[in-house]
Structure 1
Amino acid sequence: MAGAAAQDDAEQLLHLKLAFLAGEPPACILALARYALPLAVKIATAPKVYGRQNSTYTTTIFKRIISEVELSSDIVIDALYEEFAQRMLSKAKDSLLNKTNHIYKEISFLSSTHDNVSSSLISVVARLSCSSNMLEGDTGCSLWPSSLFLSEFILSYPEIFSTKCCFELGSGVGLVGICLNYVGASKVILTDGDTSTLTNMKENMELNNVCIKLEDFEELKESKNKVECKYLSWEEASESDLRGYQPDIVLGADIVYDPVCVPHLVRVLSMLLRRDSKQGEVNRKSGDELEMDGPVAYIATVVRNAETFNCFAKAAADAKLSAINIGSSTAPSNFLPYMLSYDRSSVQLLKITLSS
């Protein structure tokens, strides 16, 4: 019994630490901490945990934890007050330097099978610079649930993506690209139509020690790097621009959001999925949903507006694209149990192919 209790404590502490590093909302951090007080004090006083976090975020977490401990009638150790004071000073300094617009996050994907709790359970860690306020229009630098879902899908079915050329539309912070690189995709092309998002994406690839280049479009076609970041405007993209890539798999997370962009998105998908000659390949034999007889797209999306989604479905059908929801039949493993704010049930996963 003592061993099981110790394992539970270790798991709670690990989840609390990972949630903090992932920048989970304060309410989610406190929900996890309530299971483990005074373990929460340990996480709050470990400098290596919050070393790169946004000072406004860490200050809020410290304040909430101190209040929680005080309300529980536990003694707040001096070190916690001291660290809170240090975070307040850092917050003031960052404000003067105008460094509060982005927040550093570490998204740790846990192994799906394990017998005990330790850091070795973490299969891959993605280090990301993200927007601290998506409401200010910095949506391309925000982390969306569909990106988390698509990343879990890639890690759940690595055999689909290994040794394949993968092309992502609207890559944002680059989380999906990091996971594709991890599972052994032969080539990863990350694209976005916003230059500031593209710059942040490149910095995130470098942060994760992924070899990339951000260059002229024509030079990228000849690049030997495994991961490439490029500017791609759906409105301006031509067939000649995309002909040299011929990806095996096209991916996208939360890219069905604006009815104005839908016709351009469908046109780009059609061009990327069109292949003059390609030998059919099969990644899995366990179900039709994951068979691949040619280029295929996997689009993860949250249906926030039914009218916009229906607009996409109609445009795809008119372009002779077959789109089926495979989210239920091929649900990914839960690699992010500590992210309480992530609602995977809200995400649909579409498999899109050219109609025969």
Structure 2
Amino acid sequence: MRVAFDEADSRRNCKSKRRNTANLNSKKKFNRGAYLNPKVSAARGGRRRAGDEGAARHGVGVAGEEKNATRKNLVFLEDSCHMYDARSAFDEADQTGQESRAVEVAMEQDLDPSHPSSHHLLSAIQAMEPSHCVISHARACGGGSITEQVQQFIWDHCLSTSGDFHVPYLKNFLKKLITQVELDHGYVLDNLYEIYAHYMTSFKDDSLGKRDASGICKRISFLFPEGCSELQSCPHSRVLVFSLQCSLNMLEGDTGCSIWPSSLFLSELILSHPKLFSNKSCFEIGSGVGLVGLCLAHVQASKVILSDGDLSTLANMKSNLELNHLNVEANTPEINKDPNMVKCLYLPWESASESQLQDIKPDVVLGADVIYDPVCLPHLVRVLAILLNQMNTDFCRKHASCKSLSPNTKHENGEHNHEDAIDICDSRIEASYNGDSNSVPKEAPVAYIAYVIRNIETFNCFVSLGEQANLDIVDLTDSLKPLNLLCYMQSYNQASARLLRITCSNMQ
């Protein structure tokens, strides 16, 4: 503990010495400029020469008068030169003082949290962006440097209210922040030194390490640009924030509790085009932390069903839904009219039965980064084919009566009329589509799959299997673009994600 505080005191003392040295050098420079002004030296030399010449030309009396007159003129000249030199010096000092006062006034003013640059900095810290990304935002707030004003903003809005924030992340961020300010010869706030020293000692506590090892909580902020007020998904503040419990054990295989780029992309898509999902029954495969489900609930999808094939991921997903004030109904696909109700299903692709999938009856199927393992692709394609083809299954089951309306159907007058038979069949189908029953979707189900190509062979394998299963796969990346709602997240590259639209070829 003592070592940490000694290090912090040493940093402050070094910084104080540098500032005092800078002030002393500035004063010396000012004094040298005042006393070594060439105009003052020239005036003094001219006065001596003029006095000697006047005494030589005239007599003693005349010389005395001329000497007095010359003395008066030279005194005036010297005073004028002194006044000019003093005025120049004071002008320089006044300009320096004005700049200093301007800096002081700027330092006294707080950063506006609603300003875009401040929003980006705050959002980056809450999302636990890499330290170099956060420092980049801090420089943007300070006009190129991490000013005391910016440091105070970080302290007020991030550090002093950190609560259960991930301590190792804050410790690493503070270390790099302080280092950058010192390299820029800036002044580091005492509060930052002190809390950094506190983290250096506290993180050694075993209980703190165990608590942080269990996971982290990220706050993902979607920042809507100006002009989006008419968008259904845009809040009045133009900021939508979700809290997500995430895992630190990606290297140990706990990938389902991590936030993947395609999940961010799909979330941006939902919030940018809410009409595609509102009042629709939406089903997500491989839901992970549940971010996509939170966005679906926000745009008022009529039903939201999330699924995953890992029990620990499913448990974390439920916690995230409850953390964001949504009710969770587990392991049941029944319809519930509660708009805040989200269903969670344990659904391993390899063991999901056809009847179980047919009972879901989604209007929209979603998936983020589900094209990753060649071993799982046949099971994924089978699940998609059943979900997207069930309109045809329902049609065959519920409209079998149309088969009786064959070309041999007779009217009461005994005449055959093939066109009338087709019209009757179409009218029955249309009536069922427009009726009160929800058993038949009004439109063919569609799937939106977001992915990042990491292995082209794996992707080509998915496309080949999809074609064999009569799935029509179309790339919509260039035609259906989301808004850039995560502009502060430098670790996320929206352009790296692709969007597929998948339908069943039999339904075209």
- Do both share a fold (TM > 0.5)? yes
Is the CA contact (8 Å cut-off) linking 2:374 and 2:458 kept in structure 1? yes
Offset of 1:122 from its aligned partner? 3.6
> What fraction of aligned residue pairs are identical, expressed as a percent?
47
Give yes or no for the alignment of 1:12 onto 2:125: no
**CA deviations over 1:117-172 (Å, ceiling 9, x no partner):** xx964432110011224222111011111000000000010011111110000000
Match of 1:349 in 2: 499
CA distance in 1, matches of 2:480, 2:196: 45
CA distance in 2, matches of 1:89, 1:100: 17
Is the CA contact (8 Å cut-off) linking 1:17 and 1:49 kept in structure 2? no
Equivalent runs, 1:240-251 vs 2, <5 Å = 240-251=355-366
Is the CA contact (8 Å cut-off) linking 1:45 and 1:83 kept in structure 2? no
CA distance in 2, matches of 1:21, 1:66: 19
CA distance in 2, matches of 1:97, 1:9: 36
Offset of 1:213 from its aligned partner? 2.4
CA distance in 1, matches of 2:237, 2:188: 31
Is the CA contact (8 Å cut-off) linking 1:28 and 1:340 kept in structure 2? yes
Match of 2:354 in 1: 239
Mark the CA change 1:328 to 1:52 in structure 2 (over 3 Å): closer, same or farther.
Answer: farther
Match of 1:160 in 2: 276
Match of 1:286 in 2: none
Corresponding letter in the other structure for 1:138: D
Match of 2:168 in 1: 56
Give yes or no for the alignment of 1:265 onto 2:380: yes
**CA deviations over 1:309-349 (Å, ceiling 9, x no partner):** 00000000110001111011111000111001111111010
Match of 2:186 in 1: 74
Mark the CA change 1:103 to 1:145 in structure 2 (over 3 Å): closer, same or farther.
Answer: same
If each structure's strand is expressed as a fraction of its own residues, which one has the higher value?
A: 1
Match of 2:93 in 1: none
CA distance in 2, matches of 1:52, 1:165: 36
| Structure 1 counterpart SS, 2:213 | coil
Give yes or no for the alignment of 1:256 onto 2:371: yes
Equivalent runs, 1:180-329 vs 2, <5 Å = 180-214=296-330, 217=331, 219-221=332-334, 225=338, 226-274=341-389, 275=391, 276-277=394-395, 293-329=443-479
With the length of structure 1 as denominator, give the TM-score of the two structures: 0.88
Which ranges of 4 or more aligned residues in structure 1 deviate by more than 6 Å? 6-9, 278-281
If each structure's helix is expressed as a fraction of its own residues, which one has the higher value?
A: 2
Offset of 1:31 from its aligned partner? 1.7
Higher relative contact order, structure no. (Cα contacts within 8 Å, ≥ 6 residues apart): 1
Corresponding letter in the other structure for 1:272: L
With the length of structure 2 as denominator, give the TM-score of the two structures: 0.62
CA distance in 2, matches of 1:220, 1:155: 25
* Structure number with bigger Rg: 2
Q: Which runs of 5+ in 1 are unaligned?
A: 1-5, 282-291
Give yes or no for the alignment of 1:128 onto 2:244: yes
CA distance in 1, matches of 2:333, 2:384: 20
Q: Which runs of 5+ in 2 are unaligned?
A: 1-110, 229-234, 396-428, 434-441
CA distance in 1, matches of 2:303, 2:492: 29
CA distance in 2, matches of 1:192, 1:302: 20
- Point out the more displaced range, 193-202 or 33-42: 33-42
Is the CA contact (8 Å cut-off) linking 2:333 and 2:360 kept in structure 1? no
Give yes or no for the alignment of 1:34 onto 2:139: yes
Equivalent runs, 1:130-149 vs 2, <5 Å = 130-149=246-265
Match of 1:285 in 2: none
**CA deviations over 1:47-86 (Å, ceiling 9, x no partner):** 4653332111111111111111111111111111122233
- Give the paired residue count: 335
Mark the CA change 1:247 to 1:342 in structure 2 (over 3 Å): closer, same or farther.
Answer: same
